[in-house]
Amino acid sequence: MRIPSLFLRASLHVLCVLPVFLAAPGSSQSQPTQPDREAFTITRWQLDLRIAPADGTLAANGTLTLRNDSLVPQSQAVLQISSTLRWNSITIGGTPAEFKRSELRSDFDHTGSLSEAVIALPHAVAPQGTIEMEVDYAGTIPLDARRLTETSSGRIPLAVAEASDWDRISNEYTIVRGAGYVAWYPIALEPDSLAWAQRFFEHLGAWRQRHAASRLSIDVCVNALVPAGFTVIASGKPRPAAASSSGRSKCVGFDFDLANDRVPVLAAALFGVAEREHATAYYLGSRPTALDVLAAFETAEQTLAAWSPAVFTPREKSAMVQLPGAHIAAFESGPFLTTPFDASDKLLLQTNAARQIAHASFASPRLWIDEGVAQFAQVLIHEHAAGRKAALAFMNTRTPILAQVEDSLLQSDDELRGDPLVLSRNDVLTRLKGMFVWSMLRDMAGDAALQRALAAYRAADDKEPSYIQRLLEHESQVGGKRVDLEWFFDDWIYRDRGLPAFKIAEVKVRPTLRNSFTVEATIENSGDAGAEVPVAVTTSAGETEQRVLVPAGQKVTAHITVSAQPTSVMVNDGSVPEADRSDNTWKNEKK
């Protein structure tokens, strides 16, 4: 998973993000000091990488294609790499380009700084015009968590910080994630700080969205001191490298898919390899543990396929890469997962595998759909393991962070406050709110309708936000009549109205002439989002449930007949997220 933004928001002090320019010998002194760093989109990276794990070094050269996506001609371009790397040369059209080197404080790299080159272009590039340049840079990528430790006055212990920022090139283990973690390939972003986590992730998400159709291709050669068993893997699609492996050099080519917020990941070590039809485990030590990880993957695959083979049948192979340590945060990029291997918790392994299987089976350009369905797959795993209550318990462990993020987003007095799910790049919303949305849609429409709608979904046809709404409404028809889900999509997806807030305003119990009781439970929703919510009446004979739609700011009375005196009435079993459920239960003191 990605860096927990809420944790960072609570833990980090404000950073100064103003650039600090350091003069480079021979560089031009006539360039303006404030270039438009995000004027250009990098549409193509073609890089040759040479990695020497024993020295912790990386050397790279290759060609970049830049497109001017601003509204005005640009006479400068900006490129950034990690602060532990150094620009050697930049060439345009066979001629060395003048450029100014500087160090820029920015948390888009794990060091908390970027090595920036401001390049004087030989001619102004018109809007939508392109330019190619050849780059050469080199340096080291050590284990570095300064952006988490130095910015919080030491309040985040080093071990905790390095459990999140574990990227490094080292003799024992090499693994690097891309933009937002380590700038091992050139990027260009205005500086930003994790101290403002919400803005930071929105900024990074917008950059990733702008580069979703870009192509990142690398040929990487790793100098392996122990060639036997040495493996180079990545989250991209492998292909033959331009250079062939020879001697101690292991050479592989990769093409990375940058759509759906996927982050390029590159790893190299003395991995053992264990294969299954739809998954490969790359392990560091115990093969039996790796086989347990694969067995959990296959169990999760069977569970999801039993729910819907049309939705959850992998179209690409998943990879599980073992991280060097037991207490390191797992990270996924689509069906590529880096994680500690711990076979002691089979349910956790299945839960992690569920997201990989979902991403390998189902894809959407809309993050709330893509990430929400993957998170919903985890709910299905818990439900299959121990029933609906276990699934709700799993979901409710996520409710507090969702409620806190929603509250922070809605504090502004601005009319545009909030973060609509349909547009959001916020991980908490796309994953956790998305999970609840799909679970609520399942409760309203039923399994069969939801399965048909997801099976009928085509990413290429998703041209406007209401596409999935229309699919669900079509598949949820009752007696040929279209089910209206507009209210739900309006409150939960198209706008950010926050969460509902239910309470039992009043309960009346009336005996009937048939030795039963009619319970009239008035439910009040003081929140700004409506929801269809379960109301359950408990008696000595069991529980009777009725679903009621309670619009925002309104009261609705449910009429439920039970065979014995009610002992309690509860609204919301946890299937609808709300910040406080302390007033959701009425106890019958007269029974």
Give the whole-angstrom CA distance, residue 117 versus residue 94.
18
- Tell me whether domains 5-153+176-211 and 502-587 share a fold: yes
Mean pLDDT, residues 490-503 taken together: 96
Judged against a pLDDT cut of 60, whether residue 10 lies above it is answered with no
Q: What tokens appear for 432 in the block?
A: 């956790």
- pLDDT winner (highest mean) among 4-13, 15-24, 471-480: 471-480
User: For residue 75, what are the contacts with CB-CB under 8 A and spacing of at least 6?
Assistant: 120, 121, 123, 124, 125
Mean pLDDT, residues 538-554 taken together: 95
Judged against a pLDDT cut of 80, whether residue 249 lies above it is answered with yes
The confidence score (pLDDT) of residue 414 equals 57
Give the whole-angstrom CA distance, residue 160 versus residue 157.
5
Q: How confident is the model at residue 18 (pLDDT cuts 50, 70, 90)?
A: very low
Give the whole-angstrom CA distance, residue 165 versus residue 143.
8
Give the H/E segment covering residue 565: none
The confidence score (pLDDT) of residue 226 equals 75
Using an 8 Å Cβ cutoff, are 200 and 206 in contact? no
Give the whole-angstrom CA distance, residue 223 versus residue 210.
34
Mean pLDDT, residues 250-277 taken together: 94
Judged against a pLDDT cut of 50, whether residue 3 lies above it is answered with no
The confidence score (pLDDT) of residue 6 equals 34
The confidence score (pLDDT) of residue 245 equals 76
Judged against a pLDDT cut of 50, whether residue 328 lies above it is answered with yes
Radius of gyration of the chain (CA): 27
Question: Is the Cα torsion angle 283, 284, 288, 292 positive or negative in sign?
Answer: negative
Give the H/E segment covering residue 482: none
Sheet of strand 279-283, all strands in order from the earlier edge strand to the far edge: 272-275, 279-283, 318-322, 336-339, 331-333
Q: What is the mean pLDDT of the chain?
A: 90
The confidence score (pLDDT) of residue 415 equals 57
Mean pLDDT, residues 427-449 taken together: 96
Give residue for tokens 């060395």.
96
DSSP 38-91: TSEEEEEEEEEEEEETTTTEEEEEEEEEEEE-SSS-EEEEEEEEETTEEEEEEE
- Rounded to 5°, the CA angle 310-313-319 comes to 160
The confidence score (pLDDT) of residue 12 equals 28
Q: How confident is the model at residue 228 (pLDDT cuts 50, 70, 90)?
A: confident
Please report, for residues 257, 379, 553, the alpha-carbon distance to residue 354 in angstroms, rounded to integers and kept in the order given: 21, 9, 37
Give the whole-angstrom CA distance, residue 484 versus residue 136.
57
Residue 152 or 380, more confident: 380
Judged against a pLDDT cut of 90, whether residue 105 lies above it is answered with yes
Q: Over the stretch 139-188, which tens digit does the pLDDT of each residue have?
A: 999 999 999 987 654 568 888 899 999 999 999 999 999 999 999 999 99
Judged against a pLDDT cut of 50, whether residue 586 lies above it is answered with yes
Least confident of 24-28, 232-236, 385-389, 543-547: 24-28
Nearest to 54 by CA among 228, 165, 173, 136: 173
Percentage of the residues of the chain whose pLDDT score is greater than 70: 92
Angle between helices 447-456 and 467-475 in degrees, nearest 10? 140
Mean pLDDT, residues 76-88 taken together: 98
Using an 8 Å Cβ cutoff, are 141 and 176 in contact? yes
CATH domain 5-153+176-211 topology: Immunoglobulin-like (2.60.40)
Nearest to 349 by CA among 274, 265, 292: 292
Give residue for tokens 């985040």.
156
The confidence score (pLDDT) of residue 97 equals 97
The confidence score (pLDDT) of residue 409 equals 86
Q: Is 369 helix (H, G, I), strand (E, B) or coil?
A: helix
Q: Over the stretch 339-368, which tens digit does the pLDDT of each residue have?
A: 999 989 999 999 999 999 999 999 999 999
The confidence score (pLDDT) of residue 22 equals 31
The confidence score (pLDDT) of residue 478 equals 67
Number of neighbouring beta carbons within 10 Å of residue 410: 15
The confidence score (pLDDT) of residue 502 equals 97
Judged against a pLDDT cut of 60, whether residue 13 lies above it is answered with no
- Classify strands 542-550 and 531-539 as parallel, antiparallel or unpaired: antiparallel
Mean pLDDT, residues 418-435 taken together: 93
Give residue for tokens 């192979």.
317
Mean pLDDT, residues 56-84 taken together: 98
Judged against a pLDDT cut of 90, whether residue 325 lies above it is answered with no
Q: Over the stretch 401-414, which tens digit does the pLDDT of each residue have?
A: 999 999 988 886 65
Judged against a pLDDT cut of 90, whether residue 416 lies above it is answered with no
- Rounded to 5°, the CA angle 548-550-555 comes to 110
Please report, for the chain, the start and end positions of each structural domain, with discontinuous segments joined by +.
Answer: 5-153+176-211, 390-494, 502-587
Mean pLDDT, residues 262-287 taken together: 95
Q: Is 106 helix (H, G, I), strand (E, B) or coil?
A: coil
Judged against a pLDDT cut of 70, whether residue 131 lies above it is answered with yes
User: For residue 414, what are the contacts with CB-CB under 8 A and spacing of at least 6?
Assistant: none
The confidence score (pLDDT) of residue 231 equals 93
Number of neighbouring beta carbons within 10 Å of residue 579: 16
Judged against a pLDDT cut of 60, whether residue 17 lies above it is answered with no
- Classify strands 265-269 and 174-177 as parallel, antiparallel or unpaired: antiparallel
* CATH code linked to domain 502-587: 2.60.40.10
- DSSP lists the bridge partners of residue 332 as 337
Judged against a pLDDT cut of 60, whether residue 293 lies above it is answered with yes
Please report, for residues 531, 556, 569, 577, the alpha-carbon distance to residue 583 in angstroms, rounded to integers and kept in the order given: 17, 16, 11, 14
The confidence score (pLDDT) of residue 15 equals 25
User: Helix %, strand %, coil % for the chain, to 5?
Assistant: 30, 30, 40
The confidence score (pLDDT) of residue 33 equals 56
Using an 8 Å Cβ cutoff, are 174 and 162 in contact? no
